[in-house]
Chain A
Amino acid sequence: MSKSAQNISIASHQNNGLNTLQKLGLAIGFIGLFILIVAFYNVSFPNKNLWLSISITSILAGIVVYARSTYLSRPEGISNNGLFHKSLTNKGVLAWIIGVLLTSFYVALYWFPKYLGLGENGNANSGIVGFFDPLSLVLNGKIASQWFVYGTLYTVAILGLGYKFILKYRHNKYQLVRTISVMFFQLGFAFLIPEILEKLNPGKEYFAKDLKNMWPLNYYFFNDWHLKGLLNGGNLGMFMLVFGIAMIFIISPILTYFYGKRWYCSWVCGCGGLAETAGDSFRHLSNSTQKVWKIERWMIHSVLVFSFVMTIAVIFTFLSNNPEMSFITKDQFIYGIVAFLVVFTGALYLFKRNDLDTDAQFTMITLVAIIIISIMINFFSGSQNILFIDSNSLREWYGFAIGSAFSGVIGVGFYPLLGNRVWCRFGCPMAAILGLQQRLFSRFRITTNGGQCISCGNCTTHCEMGIDVRSYAQKGENIVRSSCVGCGICSAVCPRGVLKLENDAEEGRINANEILLGNDVNLMDLINNQK
């Protein structure tokens, strides 16, 4: 009996169940957060450096203490008990409170930074932005902007909650390696390196220095201010321009071919990093019905087309206005784009049409035709606008609707209500491109282990991309879906060892392995029937 659990409560076993260390962790963490809130109200701290350090350290320490006490007290294994019983993780009061707070924060961040204390028109920073001035001065040599505050908090969230995630999945080395990777890329490539590079290159025009943030996720890469910044940015700027373009056309397709889009979406990307760490507690809220899948396909591809059109227009305008700065003329650019679209779609149709649904083929070809015709009409009519619309307003609308409202406000603000990958599923144009590659030109798949599936549904429930994994697994089919970010959680939560993320030969990647569902069918008959 000594090892057995005891229940000494009088009414029921359902007590609050926080142990001392968990309480301590919560206290430390929220005191750290409280300091930030006090700073928000423009309290002038005597020693900002010290208080900021205390605040961030407490937040991190609180998470560490709480997570250790929560996960290390039980044997290694899947720890999803009570997910659908708890307010925070099942859209209860706590979830709504956090959803509303996050959403409001994003609204202030994008459109009303002065309420966060950003000093406008040359005024000094105050509030929470001012609170971060000393840290910003150390790192990049300038006073803080709202984006610096955001970047710092974002990094803290990924590091702290990434640690929590590692403890939760400590029995699973794939999760361990993957999470260390997103933490590393966030801390180094998205936060420290860009800030330090900025400090080392004062006086040069600004451009984004996050190496891993590529077009079209980084939608302003080809905007005129950014291109000018790059072109006037000396060697570093030139390197970033060349590297950025190489990422899009060379590095990314190669990596996606060998490893699937997971190399980016769940190993490197910042949005993915936050979703996998801070958002992990909400992954099971992603809707996996067929209806939502349909909405997803329409939305994400519309955003892709929008971003593509916007970029063409913006580059065209840039080339028209700054012929002296460019390598190519606007004529070359337009012919290049047209050639690219024709060759790309043609090749896709020729070689891969059997892998695409009829409606997907139809939509794609129509769309490309429309874009090419519009480009040509505008071009030959000598218009300053390509694609009929003024490129500036197109760009502004894209920035407002997709770059800010979708990716930030809805994408992260709605974590506790819609799941942690809303942006990646419905809005990210980068995910759409990589997804297309993954579906058509990649060695990546999730292999189903013969007939071992028991249709329990853990995989589908915990898939953050809302893929109905079970619908494939129970038929013995591999999962090859464009939206899969390769987080590997389906494989982790599977109680029967049915799913494995693999890179292997392209042939036979998409299969229906009926032989192995268990019946001893005649192999030759089956193969002949499938022909």
Chain B
Amino acid sequence: MENIVIIGNGISGVTLARHIRKQSNHKITIISSETEFFFSRTALMYVFMGHMKFEHTQPYENDFWKKNNINLINASVEHVNTKEKALILNDDTVIVYDKLVIATGSKPNKFGWQGQDLKGVTGLYHKQDLETLEAFSPTCKRAVIVGGGLIGIELAEMLRSRNIPVTFLVREKSFWDAVLPFGESQMINRHILEHHIDLRLETGLLKILSDENGNARAVVTDKNETIECQIVGLTAGVSPNIDFLKNSGIELGRGVKVNRFLETNIKNIYAIGDCAEQYEGIGLRRPIEAVWYTGRMMAEALAQTLTGNPTQYNPGHWFNSAKFLDIEYQTYGWVWAHKKDYEEQFYWEHSSGKKAIRISFHKETRVFLGINTFGIRMRHEFFDKVLTENQSVDYVIHHLAEANFDPEFFTSHKKEIQEQFVKQFVGLKTV
């Protein structure tokens, strides 16, 4: 029986603990300073919006941990002593371990803006961020959100749910256009405006101004406009939350460097989830994957290793999903915002302007490479199989009905999509 200590009780740490417990009787301890029990941070927005209570974000009941003999410690780790195999907590307690897993997740990026630590300035990541928002929103006349990605648009939706006017500063030409191709990105721009959010494209943050009490009072944009506001949301991406590991001897890049077995440079220390950085990205993936699903997958793989079945982190086909206000988004495989030279893309948009799909395929071989789907749900199992079997784009177009995952009675756009595809890509082009 080994003494396994996990730092962080997010999806990675908790999935790891559960899977180790399933297969062994190792001693398991999870340390977190954020909350006593695991909660789903993806659901924080729904708590603020009043769709759920905080307790609903907890996937396991409070007695689950005791029942499964998983020890929880509510504290933060100040220092890791790799020689003594010991952790020092913020209350000076010393915790020893046989195996240590770092699963500390991310923290919101701050780029050294003047005023970035004022009161009323917050990211949207930790439970504490929600508490900040709760404290400031009753008297907030306008909020400014900086950073046009998934978290930014969620924060905008949250604030709008309480009728707080929102100005949304997006540095890029169009919303999330590093990931979303032009059509989809434009569609989301329109939808943001439809929700009465003041979207400012190609606009960045210069500085945040303070009032006499140290509260944020206004922001100044890089177009030299001053916007009065009481809440500033910083949502320009996240980076690994690993400051406490400096000088520990554990090799760090932007995150904790790990190999395919999720091992760090020091024996018996591992890292998973948002804070882990692969030496090289796996396939087309980035070295750091700050995604819910990858955290869960790494934990499943590491649990195997720690229970005597050495297993590489070997992610299957890429998938992801999000929701932009009312528009759901799913993606399977790879669709690039800017076409790669081998890539051809087919784009269909519904006349309502709220549904779209984009299919990427290989120019020459017509092999299906990936799909973006908006407002139409698609079946993970179907696309996983298609990608594994290297099916062609024609196969996918032909089997769209099978791929569909919309609820019963929903209008099917299969015919419309097929007709447009045939017009564009069949007959005109030969292989």
Chain A interface residues (CB < 8 Å from chain B)? 1, 3-7, 11-14, 17, 75-78, 80-86, 171-174, 176-177, 284, 289-290, 447, 449-452, 454-458, 460-462, 470-471, 474, 488, 491-493, 495-497, 500-502, 513, 516-521
Contacts and interface: CB of A to CB of B under 8 A. Distances in A.
Given A452-B380, A457-B43, A517-B300, A14 B50 contact: no
B405 A449 contact: yes
B410 interface: yes
A83 B50 contact: yes
A6 B165 contact: yes
Contacts of B165: 4-7, 13
Contacts of A493: 51
Interface residues of B, number: 69
A80 B49 CA distance: 8
B138 A518 contact: no
25 contacts: A3-B193, A7-B165, A13-B140, A75-B191, A81-B51, A171-B326, A173-B408, A177-B409, A451-B296, A452-B293, A457-B57, A457-B58, A458-B51, A462-B51, A493-B51, A497-B330, A497-B405, A500-B377, A500-B406, A500-B407, A501-B407, A513-B381, A517-B296, A519-B301, A519-B314
Given A7-B165, A457-B57, A471-B59, A452 B330 contact: yes
B310 interface: no
A84 B40 contact: no
A466 B138 CA distance: 32
B324 to A, nearest CB: 10
Contact of A458 (B43, B61, B377): B43
A158 B399 CA distance: 40
A497 B198 CA distance: 28
Contact of A7 (B49, B163, B379): B163
B161 A491 contact: no
Interface in B49-86: 49-53, 56-59, 61
B195 A449 contact: no
A77 B166 CA distance: 20
Contact of A13 (B42, B58, B164, B319): B164
B56 A460 contact: yes
B161 A82 contact: yes
A184 to B, nearest CB: 16
A450 B380 contact: yes
A75 B61 contact: no
Interface of B: 11, 40, 42-43, 46, 49-53, 56-59, 61, 137-142, 160-167, 191, 193-198, 292-294, 296-297, 300-301, 313-317, 319, 321-323, 325-326, 328, 330, 377-381, 384, 405-411
A11 B139 contact: yes
A329 to B, nearest CB: 47
Given A454-B42, A457-B40, A496 B321 contact: yes
Contacts of B43: 454-458
B51 A500 contact: no
A457 B52 contact: yes
Contacts of B407: 172-174, 488, 491-492, 500-501
A458 B384 contact: no
A474 B57 CA distance: 13
A493 B51 CA distance: 10
Most buried by B among A75, A289, A497, A516: A497
A457 B56 contact: yes
Nearest to A9: B141
A470 B61 CA distance: 12
Given A14-B138, A76-B326, A492-B407, A518 B294 contact: yes
A78 to B, nearest CB: 7
B52 A5 contact: no
B293 A451 contact: yes
Given A4-B165, A500-B405, A455 B193 contact: no
A5 B160 contact: yes
A483 to B, nearest CB: 18
A12 B165 CA distance: 12
Most buried by A among B193, B198, B315, B405: B405
A488 B406 CA distance: 12
Contact of B46 (A11, A14, A456, A500): A456
B326 A78 contact: yes
Contact of A455 (B59, B297, B315): B59
Contacts of A500: 377, 405-407
A362 to B, nearest CB: 23
A512 to B, nearest CB: 12
A224 to B, nearest CB: 43
A520 B283 CA distance: 13
B167 A470 contact: no
